[in-house]
Amino acid sequence: MGSKNPQFGHIHIISEDNTVYFLLKKLTNVNFNTHFHAYEINFTEDWCYLKLQDLAVHIRITINSKQLVSFRFVFY
């Protein structure tokens, strides 16, 4: 939690009971790929719940068998 690097997860279930929650399978952040301007990630077996308002928007892509995550929007 103390890391400045972003954390990622793969959404498996969306639950709604006055508040929208996501059941996420956590992903580890391997490094930032400067060529693709994206984070390389690995899948884990760790799970967590997250509220909708705590979720950032991103795109996951696969290039040369590497799993990469890039943010759709950049805020300055």
> Greater confidence, 70 or 50?
50
Mean pLDDT, rounded, for 28-46: 89
Please state the three-class secondary structure of 9-55 as a single string.
EEEEEEEECCCEEEEEEEEEEEEEECCCCEEEEEEEEEEEEEEHHHC
**Structural domain boundaries of the chain?**
8-71
- Distance, in Å, from the CA atom of 75 to the CA atom of 23, rounded to the nearest integer, reads 26
Question: What would the mean pLDDT of 24-41 be, rounded to a whole number?
Answer: 88
Query: What integer pLDDT is reported at residue 60 of this predicted model?
Result: 65
What number is the average pLDDT over the span 30-41? Answer: 87
Structure-model confidence comparison of residues 64 and 44, the more confident one: 44
